[in-house]
Structures are given as structure tokens and as C-alpha cells.
Structure 1
Amino acid sequence: MLLKRHFFINGVKRNLMVDPESSLASVLREQLMLTGCKIGCNQGHCGTCTVILNGKPVRSCIVKMKKVPEESVIETVEGLANGDELHPLQVAWMGHGCAQCGYCTPGFLMSSKALLAENPSPTREEVRDWFQKHKNLCRCTGYKPLVDAVMDAAAVMRGEKSVDDLIFKPVGNDILGTEYVRPSAKAKVTGTWDYGADMDLQMPEGTLKLALVQAEVSHALIKGIDYSEALKVPGVHKVITAKDVKGNNRINGLVFFPGYNKGDGWDRPVLCDEKVFQYGDAIAVVAADTEAIAREAAKLVKVDLEVLPAYMSAPEAMAEDAIEIHPGTPNVFYETKCIKGEDTAPLMETLPNVVEVESYSSRQPHLPLEPDCGQAYIDENGKLIIHSKSIGIHLHHMMICEGIGVAPEDCYIVQNPTGGTFGYKFSPTMESILGVCCLATGRPVSLVYDQYQQITYTGKRSPAFLKVKLGADENGKILALEGENYVDHGPYSEFGDLLTMRLSQFMGAGYGIPNIRNNSYCVFTNHAWGSAFRGYGAPQSFMGVDTAIDVLADKMGMDPFELRYRNVYRPGDTTPTGQTPEVFSLVKMMDDLRPEWEEAKKRVKANSTDKVKRGVGISVGVYGCGLDGADSSEAYAEITKDGVTIYNSWEDHGQGADVTTLTMAHETLKKAGYKPEDIKLVLCDMEFTPNSGPAGGSRSNVVTGNATRIAAENLLKALEKEDGTYRTYDEQVAAGLPTKVTGKWVASECTDCDGATAQGKPFSNYMYVLNMPEVAVDMETGKVTVEKFTMSVDCGTIINKLVVEGQVYGALAQGIGLALTEDFEDLEKHTSLVKCGIPQIKDVPDDLVLHFYETPRPEGPYGASGIGEGPLAAPHPAILNAIFNATGARITRIPATPDVVKAALDKLEK
């Protein structure tokens, strides 16, 4: 049965035949191709699908067509502009850097338009109330820039500002360190930036849609697979299993420390053949004419399993009676020791101030609003082309080719426009599956996860059990650190040794501790596989050490700010790996922050009541920029008739690779008179762009930024005439000189960390951060609210102010979630954005104060360091420390949910 309906959509009358049970979102996207409407959760939780229906904002994914009245007026982001004239909201969104990954942008814009139609002069709190009420979520921005944009747009619409005031315009020909708008911003605010699910709708006829058959247990032997019933479903083309994989059916997990890693890295199957290792593992794939058919047929595939004991935490997998998850490889498969200075055991016996603290850092879910998605096809040259959300296209190419059975030269990976990853796409999640299915069927294929699959199947931050012992002299100088730590890395080893090495590199970072004996172990379990997450190893490290430092300060009766001040890096100090920091800025940062700390202490004390107690906390955060050792990157620069084209593979998952690439190149090319608009970008397509390395580890701004800078410099050298001017394209061609050059940069001063002691010079640059949150604790319920957050950041020279501020705001929101709400532990409970604890706008304070220090880095491009991960290294222990300051209750595990806090408060009373 179909309904015939007449609607006015973006001012045009449309006659439609619709399925009454279809959602408004699906009709807009699939029948009208108005793909500016995004489907994130399909449950009404995230607001990415918000459109205006008869003047009211609605989450169109949960509005059935049978509920949409005849002759309804429907507005989508595609109709927001007036021809070429953008709406003030769109301009404000661009000007405030609100469209980071951009996936939530259309929904926020439509929600904001409805707000301003109802209330042309809202207060900031009214804007926040509106977004909370209408369930508009953002994972990138920390929300504050979004409120700023609404306030500015409202002022323009009231005639109090000019729309021209909302966008930065270069003075002269300089954009370095400015608020220059990212090149992708306009497409994101107009709904024309096509993400993977949009490309899925645009794939040609004959494309097979895929659905996974996934494990519903966490550990089992596979005895057999029966897909005969699935093949009977009309429209099903093939069911692909491990026997259809042409390669070795394993992903190369890239062992980084051979000799210390007891595995070989080849432990993750593309499609499970002998065993299921975790809930959600892919066992088979149904390829059909439509996604709906594929998903229905997948339910008919029967898998015969012999269920095995499932070890859902590191202690369980380390028990004496635990079987090996990967037979032949012990569950504790990697160990790193940080051995610096003197033996700590005798020191601990003599030092007057010693504390030992056990803590737990949780399995944080990434929660991007865009679920994982991708496509694969054979191109006109017979090459296998894989499109995905990969943030390491060359890295993933190296990891999957052998497993899927394709020669490296016959496969390219392309990054689609990406709606956030926050690190999970450092690991291949569906690239190998797409390749296998394309090769097995001989047809183009497309795979789109739903939010449930995104949450339950893709990797998570690896939790860690930490035991830290600190010893200090009578003046509070910390002289010794000992640690014993266990990382729960799930069932697959990839990057587990690298992650665990981060605990050697960052436990004690920021503090000049001369003597360290810190042992860290990586453990296979049957919970979610561990993948990179923003901060990679630092949140676990600082959860251990900065919590212990606060305990030490309390034991000594010393102000926790002062104890840290006495121990932060000064000339003569070295990192935990024995490296001399490239700059020493923490003392200056703390000197400047101290008056605010003193004011905050008075403020929280004055505003505390018996019912709601307030407190302030402090922590230090440090993160290194790079993949360990001599990390390198490449870029190309080419002069054309129209200007200069820059090529690199700086994958963008919201952090602003496009504008940063542009700025890095322009700062050099402006010497020849080139303007930003003269520079074209070709990014993240292996067929055309060089190996710039993955966009992780906060490496790109330093390593790929330097490569891009050098490419631009080499191009100017190639174009330079004897008189110091530069040849045009025509002159260069006429002279028979090269028009395209390569730029390569290597962190040549760096070394790998020694496998036995972790001593070395792993990173050319670091980021330094101070975290100072103020919290309110409801003494009856245990609910904690962060009311203000002050952060001081030294990330070197700022390349783009909007990008840097946006990264910090976003990290603060994720840090608040890490500390208080976010978790992926219960496979029955933690299955949606809301149940996983994603922060909504009211969970993040509007009072966010940022202080930037631009200490030029000797090895950074134009003096820049990284930015993305430093601000997420340690906000969570600062929040826990603030809870202690408020209540006297010491929380040593995250997330500090109300029940956890209430239990600690009740324990105090006893």
C-alpha cells in the first residue's frame, strides 16, 4: 500500500507516492536525494536528521510518513540558502568553525532556524535549552562554538550585525594563525558534502548492498555455517564466507616490537573461520540487491557454535585456569618496562612521603554520529578501489592486501568525506570485508553499518588497570615512580604493543621524575577489540599518575597545584623515556594560571551548600606528536595553468586537514604571490596522493605539515629565476623544467624506544596542557556537573585559530564524557549513543576558558606542534580531583557515574 501525498518541500510543490511506514528521513534521502538530511542513530537520539515540518523542528528518522499531513511544508538544509546567498546561520557556522566533521551540521542548522523563528533574541542559555530539548548532538565541537554561531546569526537577522562581519577575510595575503575558513565548510553547511551513506545512494545500478552475519556470543568455536535459506531470498546474490576469501583471511596487525611481542600480529580474521573472538565478529556477508533484503537474509544464516568461556576483562583472562584466546599465544602477549634512573625500591624505603593508588581507566566508546560505511569496485584499469572512512589509507593498504588476496599494486584506498572517527578508523574495520566481497562477487559493493553495529562492533579505547606508587622527599619533590599496569586490548593484537608502550612514555610525563620502574602488560580478552582513540595511551597513563599525585598532595597536606608546580618539567629534567623536552613552558603556564586557581578555590567554597558541594581540580596533560622514532611523510606540489595543486594523504576526520594543508602550503607559496584561492587540494586518494602516513598520534600537523611545507618550498626552488622572480606555468613548460615536485620530511632526530627499558627519543614535538575544572556534586544523588573548565594549552605556533580552538573544545567535551558518563562495558546496555553516555549540550559547560601559549617548536612547521590529542590526555583525573576537593570522596575509576560517586560519598559517612 502506498500513500499519495502533496508536499511543499523547500518552496516547491512535490507529488509523492510513499510507503506509510517509511520515515520522513528515508523519503527525503532516497526518493528526493535530499541527502543533507543525515541519518546517524535512526532512533531520534542525535538530531542529525532534523528538518522543519510545518514550522517545527522534527527528527525525521522517527517521523513515519503516515503521520505527515497532506500539503505539509517541509524545509531541509538544501533550501536554507536563498540561491547563492547563504543564510546567516550558514555563514556563522562557517565563521565559527562549527562544521568540523560536519555530519551534525545540517540538523543543527535547521534546529537553529526553527529556534530563531520562534525566539529572535535568545539568550545563550535559551539556545542551549533548545538544543537539549530537541536532542541535537555534536561529538566534535564541544558545543560552545555552535551557541556562538546562533547568537551571531540572530544578531545579523535582527539587523545589529552585518553578515560580512561573520567571516574572517585575510588582510593582505596572510592566513597563518587566523580564522580562515576551511575549504570544505560551504559544502558542509549547504548539505552538499557527501558522506559514505550518501555515496551509497549514488552507486550505480548493479551495486550489491551488503549485510553482516555477526556473532552474538563473545567466544566460540565455529562448527558450521548454513546459509541455504538466505540464498532462497529473492534478490540475494551471494553469501560470502571465509572460504571465499582469496588471501590468507587475516589482517596484518603490524608487530612493532618483535622479540617482546609474543604474537605474530596475524590474529584478526577478515571473516571468522575457526573461532569467534568477540561479540559482533563478522562470520559471513550477504550480498543482495538492496540493503533491506541483505539484512533480512542475514537473519536466516545459521551458525553452529560451541560456546567457550568468555574473558571480559584483563583479570579474567589472566586467571590461572583461563584458556588461551589465540591458541599458542599467551593471553598476556606483550610487556614493556620503563627503566629510568636508579632502582626505585631502596628509594621508596627511605622517602618520607609514599603513596600507592590503584585506578581503572574505562573502555570509552568513540561514538561518531556517522556510522561506519564504505564501497568497493573494480575500476577501468582492473584495480580494486576501496572507499571508506579510513584515517590511514596507506597503512590500511599494507594491513589488508595479503589478507584479501590482492597484489598491492592492484588496490587503492580512498578516504570518503568522513563524519568523525576520533581514532577508531586507525584500524581497518570494513576495508578488508569490502575488498573480499567485491572480489568474490565481481560486482561493486556497498556496506553501511547502523549505529548499533557501529557501537557494538568497532574498536574502543582499551581500558587499563593501573597501580601507581609515588615517593617524594620532605619538600614534595617526586623522586620515584613505580607502576604495574594491565591493558585490556580485546581479542586482537593490532597496535596493542604500541599502545602499551605509550604507558611507558606517558606515565610520569610532564613531571621531572628522575627514577622510574614502570611495568605495563597488554592482555587479550573477549571484550571489544582495542583501537586507537584520541589521546592514545595518555588518558590511561594520567588516570594512574595524576590521581596518585593528588593523593600524595593530600597526604602531605600540600596544595595539589603547588605539588605539581614543584615537579613539572624544568631545564635539566627529562621525559619518562629519558628525552629532553623540546620546550619548557609548563612553569610559565602554571605561574599564569595560579591566580585563577586561587580565585576558583574561593569561588567553589563560597558557592557550596550542604546539598550541592563544589570543588576545583587540577591536572597536567602531555602528548607526543608522531609515530615513534623517525616518523616521515610525503607531499607533492604542482604548478598548473590555474595555480598550484597540493597533493597529500592527510586524512580528515573533522580536525581540519584541508585548511591546515592549505595554510602550510600558502605560507611558503605567498612568496611568489599565490593567494589561498590559487591553491587546489587533492587529498587522500592513493591513486594520486603520496604516503603521508595515518592521521593519528597528533602527527599530521607536524610530520605531514612539514612535508607539505617542503613540497611548497621545493616548487618555488624549481620555479625561481636568476633574478629572484618565479616562472609561470607556461614558462616552466617551455624551459623543459619539472612542474611537479615532492616534499619529504623525516623526524631524523628521533629514535625508537628501547624494547627492554623504553628509553629513547620517540617524538620530535609534544603538547603541554593544564586542566582546571570546577564541579558541582549533588550530595543526594551523586550526580556531578562540570560548571566551568579552564584549560591552558601550548601547541606551538597556531596554524589556524578556528581549528585549534575547535579541537580543544571538542576534547573537553569528550574528556567530560570520559570522566563522568561514557562507557562500553555491558553488551546489553551500552548499545546506543544515549546509553553509552554521549555528552549532550547541558553536560558540557558554556563557561569554557582557553589560554594558548605559542612556544615555537624547532622541528614544527612554522613552529607548530600538534593539537588534537593533548587536550584529552588528562581532563578526567582533574575532574575526579575536583570531586575530591568538593566532597573529600576519592574516586579512582571512570566513569564516575552517580552511583559510583554516591557509593564513595556513603563510604565517607561510614
Structure 2
Amino acid sequence: MIKPRKMWLNINGADRMLICDPEKDSLAQVLRRIGLTSVKIGCDTGVCGSCSVILNGKVIRSCNRKITRVKEYSRVITLEGIGTPENLHPLQVAWMNRGAVQCGFCAPGFIVSAYALLLENDNPTRQEVRDWFQKHKNVCRCTGYKQLVDAVMDAARVVRGEASMEDITYTPPKNNECYGKPLVRPAALAKVTGLADYGEDMALKMPPETLHVAVVQPRVAHHAKILKIDTKEALQMPGVVKVITHEDIKAKGGTNQMAEANLHERSTVTLPSRKILSDEKIFRYGDVVALAIAHTPAQARAAAAKVTVDIEPLPEYLNFLDAVMPDAIRVHDDTPNLYCCQPVLKGAALEDAEKIPEILDNSACSVEGSFHSSREPHLSIEGCTVQAYFDEDDYLTFQCKSQGLYTSISRIGSSLGVARDKLRIVDNFNGASFGWSTNAGDLCLAGAAAVAVKSPVALSLSYEEHQHFSGKRCPSYSNGRVACDEKGKITAAEFDFGLDHGAYSWGGDHVMEKPVRFAFFPYNVPHVAGLCRVANTNHTFGTAYRSYGSPQAYTLSEALMDMLAEKMGIDPFEFRWINIARPGDTNINSHGFKEYPMEAMMEKMRPHYDRAVTDAKAADTPEKRRGVGLAWGGFNVTEGGTDQCTVTLELDDKDRIVKYDTWQDLGQGGDVGSLMVTLEALKPMGVTPDRIRLCQNDTKICPDSGMSAASRSHYMNGLATRMAAEKLMEAMQKPDGTYRTYMEMKAENIETRFEATYTCMADPTITRLDPNTGIGDPTPAFTYVLNMAEVEVDAATGKTTVLRFVCVYDVGKIGNIAAVSGQAYGGISHSIGFALSEDYSDVKKHTNIASSGVPYIKDIPDDILLIPCETPRKSGPFGSSGASEAFQSSGHVAVINAIYNACGVRIFDLPARHEKVKAGLDSLAAGNTIAPPRKYFLGSDLYEELETIKANPVKFRGHDMFNSLGDEDGARFF
């Protein structure tokens, strides 16, 4: 029985009476309950800082401060007490104008923390700002931290009276030349004032009849038969309305199967592999078997804890190597564990793959190695939270985090027993994703509950539940060899990748195409024999993550490039200069690179590399080893030939242009991106930012603009917007060249609303990878990066610190420099984490962002230099390409190469934790060499498998396979 406690707190300057549960309430919960939802609860364990408030003059993390530890009449300051939209604090202005707002979920905590810093010290150094955020555990997953320090430094100048608010505010140019400029994001004001309602904020503001849903994750095994699910005791718990299992979903006409399509000709998958609620088997640690629905979140959780599951354990395969052993049982009955593969053959290999070993053996020099990249977790600070309800038109509506609203509808499919045309997806403000929200599993859970009780519901997973439930980047195991002639020119390469796609197969046949496109990108390699295989295991499933599938490729190829350069006695920079592709050269898929900015990018990097090498030699000591590492990288733009984007432009009765689209904003800037391309498309009319109103991310009123993925959004939305703008301007233009108003359009009975769709099918150069040879050109554009990391290795501990990072990049014409820079800084920070600390392999340990290795501010250098190299794209909108994903493609290998350069320890198995580096240093000190891992067994010998593929070619259906659901393909589509 709850015995509430009345207490007074002085909150934001006013005394307020509160009624608390002294046994359970945290200060964060109390503040949120009274409407101060700037206080975010992310990790709920005090390791992310999103709940930061000032208590009696000190910054604290309010999620783990029990109300019993807060003295009555204590003084509390939240973001709401620091500044409002009409009376902003300099920190809020600086946050908006310095590009410090991306997803914005962490912004309130950072601003509150910085406010406390400036109260103590209004003239901090950059290092003092970094020390402060480190001390108070403020984590940002989007920005890379540099912009946050920039913002504090700007705000401090205003606080000291050395600058005005206008001095730190960006003003758009009056000539309307906005493209490329750092226009402030439209949503930034709501985010920096704490008024943006994220998932859990929306849950608090749902109607009072809303029920709450908790998941039952047994967490007893990675693989087991389900013998019995017992809900009797749970149903007797206080406040419980219903406890549902797979049987309840089927009783409502649902299939309980998430929709999946395995499109590759070599896929052996014949049945959907993922259930909403597990019925016969548990396939991984995070599977959900039941949902408890109750009047309060606490009641739902208490009931969920009472559901019992009887199981029969089955063999567990927690990595690719175990799952593909000959004696391994099948994870899914309908398909072998190794269920799909994609070869790539070039040059002599097209005639006979066995010629490649001969070329390698007869070359002047060759190196080989085997590499492992980890199961990288996304570690967004906001996890899974969904509200579901039947709206006024009886649409089953999801308020959620989704990177592809219409794709989510497809993935829900018929699983819930609700017709697809009665599903509605609405994006809340989103606390980042980086790829995990391309999956609709959490939507299916909330939808199943809403259908079961025909009532609004709110589903919230704890961060640990979210960690186990959401997908991760596919781990990879790879073997490779590369050779060159006596001048250092690459002669041939061979490689073999095994991707661990975890418990569910959806997407595996897509991600496996990335290593066979991006290994040895962007070099000219004349002869190639390669293969990528994908397998099911009993670990969490593989899903999208920024630079989807290419970091695994660069883990192998950029390490081998350094190894070959060293063996040849050639500087790593010069070795890459020799081998970059130049006009006329082709990639490993036998097609051109479309653009060849490689020489220009290396020329921009050269002086920084020379300076870094000199600095490293001067600073290197036996105690603190210094090194420099390089890595080329890049990524494709769009999802290929099937990609399309629809937008709508409308002239409204206030003579504004209303833009309708589903450019999902996960922090990358879907709002400002849409604004930028619309401004540029309507530039002949002289349209200014204040005349554009964005109406986004609600499938009931917005057309399908595609996913926020594959670096596609700016490219595809820009082209579609240009088409719609041309239609609108043609309709509005008078014979004298001026433009009609809304009233004039109506008076002349002229249409004021125009829709346009751009499809990649219109580009005849796009061809899928041939499933027998890997020849193809699946996307219309690329992005390019050249990374350099400068590191220090502590010889006593093995700890690696990245001191400086330089990135030269080419994304075509830049649309918004602040948004592109934000993606660069963020991608680099993820790459450093991938290299040194991030992992989700131990389900008992990797339960929150801290234990999973998230980088805090002092793990990321403040000295990050971004150098654009703009090569306008002929095919892209206004000369632009894409952005985002290249920035996380290969930076991790620059760090790994720098570690080797510093101390002679090469890490073949990510992440490069300090104990691995220290073990290598100890081995070298003992006079031993560091041997690479033994060659991985990936299911069969590479050349035996390539010979099998050659002997069993499959019919290549090109684009037809995506456009037809005929009898031939019907069994593969769900």
C-alpha cells in the first residue's frame, strides 16, 4: 500500500507542493509528473546525464536521486527555469546556432549542466568545459561533442558582456542564397527550451484512459523450445486489464509474423523468421513472449514479472563461426544457418577465380590477415517507446520513432489483423536511432496491445529491455589477401566475409552486398575474387546502422592496405596515392566511380598528414607512444533502382508554401534538409524561409518520401522537390514573369497543390549486382571520406586516446553546412567508439550505454578538423549527393592503424580495448611477434564456394524481382 508524502520544493524560483511516493519516486519522476518534461529519462541509471537538474546549486542526475534523499524546501532548477522561447538564455541561442542541436534529447541536460558551470565560472577554457561534462556524465550520441563546447564558449562571451545575442545568432542572407549555409533547424527552438515532446513525454500527455504495456522477456536462454507460458498469476495482479500472448494476436485475425522480404536470388529463406510474440521457440535473449496491460506503468511491470515461461534449452550459437560448423543444427527449420551469399569477380576471376591465387603468389609482395568486427550497439540515449490508439477515423495510429514511416506499415503488414490501409504512423520528436528504428518490432508490440484492448496504450521499454530487444550492427569475420607489384601498384585481392545476422534473416541479403562493394574502395584493383556470406545465429538480429555493411569491409581492406605498405617499405599515404582510382579506373564491381575526387582529397590531406607524422615523432616517448593512421572510406547514395520519393507542395491561403513529406528526422536534420531543398527549388520565386511551412511525418496526410537511410533523403527528396516546385511555379507564373497569389490562383481556378515522385528507375545506369559475378552499379552516386587519426597509447596500461582527427570529405554540393558537419562529427565519434570500446556481445554485461562502451566527451578529441572537397554531382539535386553514412564507414580503421603506427600492436579483433593493446605490448616486450588470428572457417573454402556458385548460376532478375509479386517470387514475399 502506497503511503504518499507531501513535501515542498522551490522549483525554478517558486515554492511548489508535491505529493510523492517515498518508496519509489525519483526526483526526475516527480519533476516530469508536474509537467517539467525537459527533464528526460534515458538510461534511468545515472550514466547519460539527460536528466540533469541543479539541486541546491549543484548539478545532479535526477533519475537516480530518490526523493527520500531530497530535503524539503530544496532549490531545483530545470531547463524551464533557465529560458523560454520569448526570453532565451545565451546557452539556448548558442546551442541552436552552433549546430549543437541534432536529435535534441540530450540538449536540456547539457544546457542545465552548462548553466551551472557558468554560474561557477563564466570564463572557462575548452578543457574546463570538457572536464565539467565528463564529471557530470553528460552524454551526446549525435554531435561528437565539439559543437557543444563551441556553444558554451559562445554563450560565455555573452554572459561576460563581451558579445551580444545577435553576435552569436546566424542571420540568413538577404539575397536568398541560403543553400549551403548553416540555417538553424526549424525544430531547434522547441528542443533547446524543453518543449519538444519525445516518446515518454507524449505518453505522459495521452488521455487519462490510456493503458500501459510492459513486455515479458524471459531472458533465460538464447535458444529454447517454449513448453508453456503461464499468465494466471499475472492476471490476478492489481490494475491488470489483460495479459496477451501470440494466441491473442491470432484470435484477432493477425498472423503474429512481421512481414519480411528476402529478395536475393540466392536466399534460401522461405518463411518469415520473426514473430511479434514468441510462440514455439525463443531464438535470442531479447525475444518477447507476452505483454502485460494495466492502468499504470508500475502495475504493468509488476504483472509482467509474474508471467512464467517453461522452456527446453536448445543448442546456442552466439557467433557466425559456431553457427556454420557442419554439425550445427538449424536456427530456423526452413533454411540452413548460412542462408545467402554474394560473390564478386573482376578481371581474371571472371574467367576462372582460381587465377587470383596465382596472381597473388606471383606478385612482388603480398599480405594476408583475418579480422573480426564487433556487434556494435547504436546506444541512442532514448530507447523504445510507442503510443498506439485507434484515431477518429479508426486508423490504428502509432506515435513512435521510425526511420521509415511507410516502410513500418509494410513491416507490420497483416501481423496484427488490421488492414494496411488502416495503419497510420506518426513520428514523435525522436531521440536518435542511427538505424535501429528501421525495424518495426516495437510498433508491433504496441499495436498488438491496442488491438487486444481496443484502447489507447503506451509501451515503454527500460533501457536494458531496449538493449536486448533492438537490433545491432552485424559482426563480421573476414579473411583477405592483397598483393602489389614492385612499384606498389595493387595487382589483385581476395577476400571472404561472414556476417552474423543474428536470430532473424530480414535484411541479411541486403547488408551482405555492401562488403562486396566497399572492400578496397576507392582503389583501382584489377583482379578480384571475393565473397560475402550471411548466417543466422542466436544473438540479437542484425539491422541498419549508419554506413550499413561498409565498416565491416573497411575493417579488412584498410588494415591490409597499411600492412602491404609497410611490407613494401612505402609510406601509408604514398601507398594510397599510388593506388587510388583515377578517371577510367573501375571499382571492384567493374563500374566507374562516377566521380574521381580522390587526388584532390589526398592533396587536401597531405599537409595535415605530414604535420601529424612530424608531431608524432617529436612527442613519442617510451611511456606515451604516438602514432598516425589513415583510412579511405565512402558509401553509396540511395537504395538503388527501386528507390522513389514523393513530396507535395501547396500554396496556402496565407501565400505560404506548405511542404508535405516523410523526411523522418532522427537528429540528422530532416526538417532543415527539407527546408533547404525547398528554398533552392523555389529560388526563382524569391521564397524566403519564413514563407515555407513544413508538414512532415504523418502517413495520414503526407506522401511516401521513403526511408531516412542509405544517405538517400537529401538526394531523393531534393529531386522530387525540384519536380514539384517546377509544377507549382509554372502554375503560379503570370505571362509577365511575376507570380500569382493564392487569391489570384483561386480566382482563375488554378490548382494550388502539386505532387511529384522521383524514382531511381529513371536512371538507366543503375544495375543491381549480378548474383553470379557481383558486377553491377546499384546506386546513382557515392560519397567519399579520407580519415586521419592521431593517437597516444599509454605503454603501462594499453589505453588509447585519440588526440586529433582530420576528415576530408566529398558529399557533392553541401546543402546545409551545419547539418553535414553534425553528421561528420557524430559519425567520427561513433567510429572512435567502434574502434576502442563499443560492443554488445555479453548480454549480462552490456545492458546500458556506459557498460556497452559509449564514448564520453573526453573519449572524443576536441580537435577534429573537417575539410570539405565539393565536387558537384551531375545527377543530384543542385549538385548535391548524400551525407551521413560515409562519416562512419572507416574512421575506426584509421584509429586501429594509428595504434599500430604508435606501438607496433595491430588489433585484428575489435574493439581495441586497453587490455588487448597491453597484451600486445607485453608480447613485443618479451621478444615475441604478434601473430594474426588463424584463418577463419566461414563454412567452406573460398574458392570451393566460388566454384560451386559458378557451377550453379541463378537466374538474374534485375529490377523485375522488385516490381513483381508473381508466382515465381510469391513464396519469398511476406
TM-score bin (small chain): over 0.9
Match in the other structure for 1:741? 754
Match in the other structure for 1:226? 230
Match in the other structure for 2:609? 597
In structure 2, which of residues 40, 43, 60 is the aligned counterpart of residue 41 of structure 1?
43
Does 2:500 align with 1:488?
yes
Partner SS, residue 846 of structure 1: coil
Partner SS, residue 319 of structure 1: coil
Give the conservation status (yes or no) of the 8 Å contact 2:483–2:490: yes
Q: Which TM-score applies when normalising by structure 2?
A: 0.92
Match in the other structure for 2:630? 618
User: Once structures 1 and 2 are overlaid, which stretch shifts more, 40-49 or 579-588?
Assistant: 579-588
Does 2:693 align with 1:691?
no
Match in the other structure for 2:320? 314
For residue 99 of structure 1, report the CA deviation from its aligned partner. 1.2
Give the conservation status (yes or no) of the 8 Å contact 2:344–2:528: yes
Counterpart residue type for residue 658 of structure 2: T
Map of 1:804-819 to 2, 5 A cutoff?
804-819=820-835
Match in the other structure for 1:400? 412
Does 2:200 align with 1:197?
yes
Q: Which TM-score applies when normalising by structure 1?
A: 0.99
Counterpart residue type for residue 769 of structure 1: V
Match in the other structure for 2:904? 888
Map of 1:372-771 to 2, 5 A cutoff?
372-642=384-654, 643-747=656-760, 748-749=762-763, 750-771=766-787
Distance 1:900 1:212 in 2: 37
Map of 1:858-897 to 2, 5 A cutoff?
858-897=874-913
- Aligned pair count? 908
Partner SS, residue 348 of structure 2: coil
Give the conservation status (yes or no) of the 8 Å contact 1:196–1:388: yes
Cα displacement string for residues 713-748 of structure 1 (whole angstroms, at most 9, x for unaligned residues): 221122122222111111112222211111221223
Partner SS, residue 650 of structure 1: coil
Counterpart residue type for residue 851 of structure 2: K
Distance 2:725 2:199 in 1: 31
Match in the other structure for 1:336? 342
Counterpart residue type for residue 290 of structure 2: A
Distance 2:137 2:29 in 1: 19
Give the conservation status (yes or no) of the 8 Å contact 1:254–1:399: no
Give the conservation status (yes or no) of the 8 Å contact 1:753–1:761: yes
Distance 1:758 1:730 in 2: 56
In structure 2, which of residues 59, 63, 66 is the aligned counterpart of residue 64 of structure 1?
66
Cα displacement string for residues 150-197 of structure 1 (whole angstroms, at most 9, x for unaligned residues): 000000010111111112101212321111100000000000000011
Distance 1:381 1:490 in 2: 39
**5+ long unaligned stretches in structure 2:** 350-355, 929-974
Distance 2:586 2:665 in 1: 33
Q: Evaluate the alpha carbon distance shift between residue 66 and residue 415 of structure 1 in structure 2; reply closer, same or farther with a 3 A threshold.
A: same
Give the conservation status (yes or no) of the 8 Å contact 1:255–1:265: no
User: Once structures 1 and 2 are overlaid, which stretch shifts more, 3-12 or 289-298?
Assistant: 3-12
User: Once structures 1 and 2 are overlaid, which stretch shifts more, 338-347 or 584-593?
Assistant: 338-347
Partner SS, residue 325 of structure 2: coil
Give the conservation status (yes or no) of the 8 Å contact 1:356–1:469: yes
Cα displacement string for residues 845-884 of structure 1 (whole angstroms, at most 9, x for unaligned residues): 1111110111101111111111111011001111111011
Partner SS, residue 94 of structure 1: helix
Cα displacement string for residues 640-680 of structure 1 (whole angstroms, at most 9, x for unaligned residues): 01201001111110000101101100112232232101100
In structure 2, which of residues 94, 98, 109 is the aligned counterpart of residue 96 of structure 1?
98
Distance 1:457 1:165 in 2: 46
Distance 2:379 2:859 in 1: 16
Counterpart residue type for residue 669 of structure 1: L
Give the conservation status (yes or no) of the 8 Å contact 2:640–2:780: no
Partner SS, residue 196 of structure 2: coil
Partner SS, residue 57 of structure 1: strand
Q: Evaluate the alpha carbon distance shift between residue 595 and residue 661 of structure 1 in structure 2; reply closer, same or farther with a 3 A threshold.
A: same
Distance 1:98 1:214 in 2: 37
Cα displacement string for residues 103-123 of structure 1 (whole angstroms, at most 9, x for unaligned residues): 000000000000000011100
Give the conservation status (yes or no) of the 8 Å contact 1:788–1:848: yes
Map of 1:298-313 to 2, 5 A cutoff?
298-313=304-319
Give the conservation status (yes or no) of the 8 Å contact 1:632–1:745: yes
Give the conservation status (yes or no) of the 8 Å contact 1:351–1:472: yes
Give the conservation status (yes or no) of the 8 Å contact 1:252–1:265: no
Give the conservation status (yes or no) of the 8 Å contact 1:265–1:493: no
Match in the other structure for 2:962? none
Match in the other structure for 1:836? 852
For residue 3 of structure 1, report the CA deviation from its aligned partner. 2.5
Counterpart residue type for residue 123 of structure 1: T
Does 2:202 align with 1:212?
no
Counterpart residue type for residue 307 of structure 2: V
Give the conservation status (yes or no) of the 8 Å contact 2:562–2:897: yes
Counterpart residue type for residue 331 of structure 2: I
Match in the other structure for 1:277? 283
Does 2:249 align with 1:249?
no
CA RMSD of aligned residues (A): 1.1
In structure 1, which of residues 784, 790, 795 is the aligned counterpart of residue 811 of structure 2?
795
Distance 2:900 2:444 in 1: 47
Does 2:378 align with 1:366?
yes
Cα displacement string for residues 216-265 of structure 1 (whole angstroms, at most 9, x for unaligned residues): 110001111110000001210111110111322111222121x3111036
Give the conservation status (yes or no) of the 8 Å contact 1:632–1:746: yes
In structure 1, which of residues 225, 239, 245 is the aligned counterpart of residue 243 of structure 2?
239
Counterpart residue type for residue 243 of structure 1: E
Map of 1:817-856 to 2, 5 A cutoff?
817-856=833-872
For residue 83 of structure 1, report the CA deviation from its aligned partner. 6.8
User: Once structures 1 and 2 are overlaid, which stretch shifts more, 727-736 or 819-828?
Assistant: 727-736
The percent of aligned pairs where both chains have the same amino acid is 43
Counterpart residue type for residue 595 of structure 2: V
Cα displacement string for residues 546-577 of structure 1 (whole angstroms, at most 9, x for unaligned residues): 11111111111111111111111200112222
User: Once structures 1 and 2 are overlaid, which stretch shifts more, 259-268 or 86-95?
Assistant: 259-268
For residue 630 of structure 1, report the CA deviation from its aligned partner. 4.2
Partner SS, residue 155 of structure 1: helix
**5+ long unaligned stretches in structure 1:** none
Match in the other structure for 2:947? none
Match in the other structure for 2:948? none
Match in the other structure for 1:772? 788
Distance 1:606 1:429 in 2: 53
Match in the other structure for 2:296? 290
Distance 1:226 1:453 in 2: 21
Match in the other structure for 2:921? 905
Give the conservation status (yes or no) of the 8 Å contact 1:254–1:265: no
Distance 2:627 2:369 in 1: 21
